[in-house]
Structure formats: C-alpha cells, structure tokens
Structure 1
Amino acid sequence: MAYYGKCIETVIEQLNKFKPEKDIPEQFLEAASTSLQTLSPQKQAFILEVLSGCLEYRKLLAVVVDAFYVRAGWLCRRADYNLFEVICYLATFQLDELGFQLFSDIIRSQPLDKMCKFLGFLFNPLSLCSWIKDEWSLIYETAHVSENWIDPLMRWQPEVQELIKQLEKVMTNQSPLPKTKAKVTEPKEFNLTVPRPRAIPVPEPVPVMTKPKPIPRSTYHPPKEQEQLEMTRRYNRWKAEELLLKVNIEEMRCAVPRSRGTTLVQGSEKKLQLRFMPRILKTPKLTFYKPNNVPVKLNTAAILREGSLYQRQVEKELQRVDKLVDGAGDFSEFLEWQKKMQAKDQEEALAAGECRRLQGKLSREEAILARQLLRQGNKQKADQKKEETAELMQQCAERRLQEERSMKELVEQVIEVQKNVKVAQMKLLKGRRQIVQEVIEESRELLQRTAEAAKEEQKRRCELIAQHRALETQPMRKGKLVDLTQIPGYGLEGEMSVVELRERLALLKETQQRKEEEKRDQIIQAKRARSQGLQNMVEQISLCRAAMGRSAALRWEQKKAQSAAPGPPSQDQRVLELRRRIEESAAERRKQAASGPISAPRAPRPKPRLLRTPRATSVLSLRNLYGGACASAWRSGRDAGATRK
C-alpha cells in the first residue's frame, strides 16, 4: 500500500507543476521522465502512464471533479483536486487493466473519508446515466462514451459498493487516540544573589559653556546695496512709464484731427496721468538716486574681438585719408545719389503699403460676391443630391434581398459540412492514439540510452578527480631567494640591478620636477604680460565706444528730422487702379444686394485670453483707452477725404 501511495504522490506533484496556459503536454512529459530517472523502471512506467492519461483526458476528468466539489465535496480542500483527478482516471480508464484487487489497494493507501465520498459520487448509477454521460457526449461521441466508459463503470458498480462499505466499517472501528494528560509545571523560586549596598557616587564637575559669538547685524538687516538697487529700479520704472505716456499722447495727437480730437486728447491726457501716476509719488519724503554707470565686465575673447574690430576700422580710416591725400575722389556725389535713391525707395514702400490695404479691401468685396454665387450653386447641388439618394435607397433594397437568398444557401451548405465533421473526428482520435503509443516507446528507449551515458560520464569524472587529487599531494616549492644588487646576466645592453634602477629613477624624477618649475615660471610671466596687454586694449575700446556713441547720436537726430518731415501724397498708378476696382466691385455688390437678400458676413472668432503681467496690463489698458477714439477719428478723416475726392 505504501508503494502505490508514493507513486500516486509523485503523480500529484507533477500535475501540480503543470500549467496548461504555458506548458505543452509532450514537452512536460519529457521533462518529467528525465526527473524520474532515479526511480525503478516499474514505478517510472506506472507514473508516466498515469500522468500522460490525466493530461490527455483532462477535460473529461475536470467535468466529474468540478461537479464533485459543487455537489458533495464542500468540506474537501482545493489542494486535493489532482488526487481526485487521478482516482477518476484509474477508475474510468485503468480499472480493467489493473484489476479490482490492485485498485482497492491504491484506494486504501489514500485518506479513507475522502475516497468514500468520491467513489460514492462517481459510481452513483443516476449520475452516470444522466448528467455525466451528457457532459462527456459533448466532448466525444455518445456511442463511444457509453460503450467504452459508462458501461464498464456500471459493471464494476457492485464490487465498488462493497469496497465503500468495507472502508466505512474500517473508519467506524478505528478507536480515537487516547489523550495524554499534560504535565503541570511546578513553579520554583529564583536563586538570586543579594545585591551589595551602593556607594555614594562622586559628583561630576559642572561643565563650563564657552561664551557664544554675538549675532552679526547682517542677519536681521538687509545690506545697503540691495536697498540702493531697489530704489534705482523704481526710479527707472517711473521714468519708463512717463516716457511711454508721452509717446502715446504724441501718437494720439498725430492721429486725431484738430477740430474733433482736441478736447478728447486733453481729457484722455488727464485720465492717463491719473492712470500712470507712479506709486512712488504717493508716499512722501522719498529720495531718488541715479544709477551709477558701472562698466560691463568682458571676458578675454570679447576684449580681443572688439579690439581687433576697432583696429580694423582705424586702419580703414587711415587708408581712406592716405588716398584722399594722394588725390583720390570724394564720396559726396555718391552720398547725394544714395539719399535720392533712399527717398525713392521710401516712396515705393509707402505706395506698396497703400496697395496692400486696398488689396485687402478689394478681396473683401470679392469674397462677398463669391459667397452669394456659392449659395446659389449649393441649392442646385442639394436638389441633385436628393435625387441621387432616392436612387441609392432603391438599389440598397434590391441588394438586401439578394444577400438574404445567398445566406439561406450558405446555411444549408454549413449543415451538410457539420454532418461530415464527426467522421473526421473519429479518424483523428485513432491517429492520435497511435502517435502517443509510438512516442511512449521512443521515450523509453531514449531514457535507457541517457541512463547508460550518464553512468559512463560519472565513471570518467571519478577518474579525473582521482588524478587531480594525486597531483595535489605532490610537494612544491613555495619561496625563492632574490638578490636586488645582482645583475640578471641576460646579455642585454644597459643591463643593471634593481638597486641601480631605483637610483636612476629617483634622479630622473628630480630632473622632471626642475623642468616643471621652470615651465610654471614661464607661464606666470606670460599671463602677466597678457593681462597688461588686455588692460591697455580695454582702455582703447572705451575711447572708441565713446566716439562711436557720439556719431550714432548725430545720425539718430538727422534720421528723426527726416522722418518728422511730411511726405507728398502718393500718385502711384497701382493705387489708382486698385481704388477704381474697389468702386466697381462695391457697385456690383449693391446690385446683387438689391436683386436678393444677402446674409451678413461671419463674425471673426474671439481670440483666447492670455495671462498678462501687471506692467503689460497697464500698457494694454492705455492702448484700449485710446484705441476707440483714435480709430473713430481716423475713420471720420478717411470718409471726409473720400467724399472730397
């Protein structure tokens, strides 16, 4: 009984390792056969046969075991699932081959209460002839199930019922184990030593704390530089806001006509002054400091780059003076021609800007006309589309009737094909059984060959280990005497001892250190000379910058004077042509509007709001305050000019 119990335990262990979603049964059986080589051939054959059968008929066995847990095995553990599968396989497929005596020995080797429940559930004639037969018939054919599995189980039913009764008698005759009376612990007294009286401890000296350093004033008071920077920042901001206020007022004075916009600008100036009054002026007794002209710190590359630039400019100026001394021509005529060409280019730019504005207006008029024509075309297309959809609906109805006829024919063909499927399944099952038997025979032969090869490999390894141990037992020299003052004598040029080599390396190290110190001194001198040259170049750059700033200020004043002078009105042919085309398109649009109602153009999409800083909001509020006034004044002036023309 213990022999069969161990075999069943090994089968259950292998089934617990099997995972159907990952493992393949054939590969799993090969791995199991390699792991069971240590067992005897009889045990190995029995275990592999039961394991392969449980894997092959897993679906059939799962039907019975799952129903057992639902109906009769509520108190059984889920860990015994594979045990019930093995017993079900032996009772259904191997009972005739094993014999009833061997089957009863296997049953007695397992827990008796579990076996009684399961055998009573499995060999119940009502369940065998009703739901078990129906469930197995869904997987295999009904004739095959009733002939090969249900009928043998019904024949063995009387013997199995007697076995169940014997097991129940054995369970009732087993006397419960006598309860041994637990020993009561007896308490014992602790053998403790009497403590000695403690002596009075010597008081420890009071530690003297070192006097801490006073807290510096900078911890609670900010530095003066920070206050000065804050004051200069406020002063600069107030100056910038005042300058922006003046610029905006000047722009509005230029944009608004004198007759209408004088009172508006004056009122807006007062509002802007109140709006842009700096917050610093609200607090009395304030002092303002002008920022110091701190020079910008430049690196070496910037100094050299700027110095070479100014040097090239000076050289060019000297060459120009030399050419003038030698009698070269002056650039006055060229400059006059250049001014004329610039004035001409400016006139062309103004004309081009006017052309772009008129082109936008013309495109708007053309868009309105195109929208009117598009609406008429869309009505015609909609009528055509309705006629086409009616034709398509009629075609779809005819196509559905044809599809229904074809589906009926297809269903009849599928029913005929399903009748031939059962015959093909029987042939496939027979072929699979033959393949499984061949695979089992081949696996047995392979196992024998691998066992013989493993024995030979074990013998060869034992021989190699014995040889290696014999070599380790031989004595060997562990030390060697070395004389550092002795020359090896290999016959090489410059051959020397280790002591002499060390002395020469020390001398070489000293010479290298001396060379490094000399090179370091040279580098320091070169750095000093280079810094002196850079300082001289910085002084030259500051002088050149001052001169360039003065010349730039003069040029800016000249340019500002030129831009302030008003230019003559442009009489470009392109502008006149665009105005004529705009008038024609407006007249045509009015005719179309008189002939039929026109929908208003679509309003532009609102732009999303953006998060702005306080300073940006102040500038935008200034622009929005005067935007409406400037735009209305500009439109009124433009309409008046158009009426005059």
Structure 2
Amino acid sequence: MNLNYGSLVKKAIGLLDTFGSKIQSLDAFMEEALQDLQQRNFILDIFSGCIENKKQLDVVVNAFYATNGKLMSRRDRNQFVMICYLTFSLDDLGLQNFSNMIESIGIKNMYTFLNFYFSNLTSSIKHEWSSIIDAAFVEEHWINPLLRWRPEIYNLLSQLAAKTSQDNPKKKVTTKVTVPQEFSFSKPKPRLLSVPELPPEHEKTKPVPSSIHRSPKEMHILKEIKEKKHQKAELFYEANLKQIRMENPLKSESSEVFEKLWSRLSAGSFSVKLNKAAILRREALCDQQLEQELQRQEWLMQGGLEPSAFLQWQREMLTRDQLPMTEKKQLEAQIRDERIALAREQIMDRNQKTAQQTKEEIAQLMQEIAEERIQEEQKKKELVQQVAESHKNTKEAKEKLKKLKQTIVKEVSEESQELLFQAFEEKQAELCKRFEMIHENHAKQSLPRIRLNPFDDTKTAGHGLLEEMPLAELRLRLDLLKMERQEEEQERRMHILQEKQKQEELLQKRLEAIELHSRALAEAAAIRRTEKQARQELLQQLVNKDDSVLALRKELEQTKQARQQLKQAKKSKAKAHSATHMGTPSQTGLKERSWEELEQSLSRFIQNKL
C-alpha cells in the first residue's frame, strides 16, 4: 500500500501547531485530534516523537534561527522540528519517501535547514545534545546513523538546489543607451506640472473586540445552573404536593407550638403602634363586620336559617370516612420506605465486598510496579553519582574563579563608596547653607506690617444716596427683623402642636373601640377552636380502633425490627474484622512507611516520564 507521506506530514505539522503542552496532556489531545484522521499510527508516532524529544529538536531549530534562518518566518518552526525528527527514522522511511515529504512542504526552506543541520552535526549540535543526554548514547543512536546517511542527503540537497535554480531563472538586464537631443532657441522649455498632493491616509481604526459585546462564558454557565436548580425545585415541589395529597401527616410538636404562638398574636396580646391610615382602615373594617353581623341577626329574627350547621355536619362525616383511608396510606408508604431501605443496605453489602476484592488486587499490582520502579531508580542514582564525580573537578575550578572575581569586585566597590560618601558630604553642606538663607527670608517676610486705618461705624459713607445710613444702624435694624421672624415661627409651632394633640386623642379613642371588637372576635375564635379539637380527637379514636390500620402498624414494626437486626449484624462483623486485622503498632508503622515510600517513588517516575 503506497502512502502519501507528504499529506500525512502536513497533518502532523498542523497538530503540532495546535498543541499546547501547558494547557493539556499529550494523551488527551491525541484522543480528541485523531478521531477523524486516517493512517493514525504514522501520525501518532511522528507527533508523539516530536513532543517526547522536544528538548533535542529545539536545540537544532533554535541554532538554525540564530544563524542561517534569521530571515525565516517563525510560523514554519514546526516544519523544521518535524523534518529534524524524521531524519532519525530514515532507515524505516527511505530516501525517496523523505524527498517526497520535503518537496510537499517547501524546497527552499528545507534546503537551507538541511544544509545547516548536516554541516554542523559533528560540532555544535553534538556538543549541545551531549550536555542534555549521555554522550555515548548520543553518538551511538543519533550521530552515527545520521553520518551514514550524510552523503546521500548531500546528493539530495544538490538536486534541490538544481530545482530551485530552474524555477527562478535570472532575467537578462537590458541597459538603455542615452540618445542626445538637439538644442533649439525657438522651443520653450515645457512648464513643470505641479504634482497634486495625496490626501493624508487616515489610520485604520481598531475594530471593537468581540469580548465587549459578548457576555462572558461564566454568565451562561451560571444561567444554566440556575435553570437546572429551578427545574429540580419544581420537581421537588410537585413530589411534595403529591405526597401531601396521598398522605395526611400528623402535626409535629413544632407545628403545634407555632399554632399556639399564632393564636396569641392574632388575639392581640401585645400593643402595636399603628399609623393614622392603618387605624382608619381598621375602623372601616370593624364597621363593615358590625353591619354584616346586624344583617345576619335581622335575617334570623325574620325566620331565616343558617346553612353552617348542615355544612359542619357534612364535613364531619366526610372526615370520618376519609381518616382511616389516609391513615392506611401513611402506614403503607412507611412500610414501602422501610423495605426500600432494607434492599438498599443489602446492595451496599454486595458492593462493599466486590470493592474490597478489587482493592486487594490493585494493591498487589501497585506493590509489584513500585518494586520495579525502586530498582530502576537505584540504577539511575548510580549513573548520576558517576556523572557527578566527573563534574566535581570543573566545579572546584569555577568556584576559585568566582572567589577571585568577588575579591576584585569588593575592592572596587569600597573605593567607589568612599568617593560617593565625600561627594554626599559636600552636597549636604551646600544644602544646609541654602536652607539657612531660605529660613532667614521667610522670617523677614513673616514680620507684621502695621497699617493705620481708623473706621467709625456711626458715620455714613458720604456717597450722597437718599436712604444712606451708618453701619451700626443697619445692624440694629437687621437684629430687630430677626427677632420678629422668630416670634412668628414660635406661634406657628404652638398652633401645629395643639392640632396634633387633638388628632392623637381622636385616634386613641378609635383604637380603644377597635381593640374591644378584636377581643370579642378572638374569644369567639377560641371557642370554635376548642370545639374543633374535641371533634378531631373523637375521629382519631375511631381510626385507632380500625382492624386494617392495626395490622399495617404491626407490619411496619416487624420491618423496622428486621432492619435494626441487619444493622447490628453489620456492626458486629466490622468489629470482628478490625480485631483480626489489627497488628502490633510497630508492624502498622512499618507498613505505612513502606506504602509512603512506594507512592513517592511512583510519583517521581511519572514526573520523569512526563
């Protein structure tokens, strides 16, 4: 099967452009990006290889951009990274497929990059690679295979150079010959036309960013969450309504206490300060109630009948029929809940057993993997120690050089500090002199200037006006006006206070009448409430004597006892399990330490792999 390697390489370069190592992991990105791509294995190998060997490939590409590729665009960086990685797998691809890939990407850029890459392979690139990875590994696995392919690559580069020269042939430049013109007095010199000035180009206004007119994502997410919560609340409310219709639950102690408090509040056991409008409203309501009561009494006096007694009897009969049904429904619902709880506990027991088995299997696997990782880490530590011993001599030489440089810097800094201190003292003396001069000037300016300007309040200004008066007379007149205005304001205040007191007395009388009316209504309501409670107690006694209700209650007690027995059996099993598995404190401490060491080694291995 002949593969189109050029198109596959372009797809892999596109994946490299869209990948960001800081944002997402390699596995997650590959699962998302390669869902619709064909020839996944080839693209996956190239893409993952480029990301795993990123440091080594960046060394070559950065050096190329620093020297020969200064004029190249940074957008083509991933193309150079991909071609650099493909040179490592020339044995698998072959020269023909490799040349097809280069032609599909671009001949000019690839020619300059490959020329730089293979010419500096044994010098700067080898030195940089050996600083990242072991030098022996670099020479065996990377440089020696590339050196074997270098003559064939040079032949390919010569072919590429020939193609570029054929594509861009040099144009022959034809030089114009100057032709002399005859000079004539009769022909005047043509007048130069003024070149029209071009209108100034206005700077293009920056478009308004879309983020201004677009609401942020967080707002949409919050709206969706609110809608979901609202839907859940509606469903919960509907379920509660259905439950209330099916079951008529008994009143709890808190509800009874609340009803008592509400009855006290409605009875008006404490005084509330009301507004004038509220008092008038209450008075109108009381008048309306009195009129209704008078009309009812007139109707009874004329021989009319009240329908309330028949309706009350009808309600009592309905409640007597419905009470046993509601009691049965309540008990059936409780029995159903208890059975569901029993089934749930049995399922939980099964799930716990299966989970414990899987945990034990995972623990064994983790222990085996951790032991392998510890062995690998020990080997790596030995290699690191060998490398560190070789680098010790260079470190000592660097430290000596640092110490020499530090002594020289200290001597120079001490001399410079002395010079700076001398200059600072000279400037400080100059500033002190200036400060003294400024202080003297300020003292002279702050001396008071004595000015004689006698002024008589009792004399006029002498401007010759009709109603001209002295300043003292004007002040006296103003004081008299103020006194008159204050007296007028006090009279007004007294009048307003008297009217307010009259209105308050009237409102107080109305309030007393309203309170009497409300007390009478509260007493009547209390009598009705006691009668209603007595009826409900009678109905409840009838329901308690029903045989079907008693049978359901017995069944409920049996299910509750079975559930409690299950719970006690669980607790006893858990205690026995903890007693058997508990060892000595020293053994448990050793186990915890070993597990901690295994977890730490696993985390280190994963970080190194990433």
Structure 1-normalised TM-score? 0.36
Structure with greater Cα Rg: 1
Structure 2-normalised TM-score? 0.38
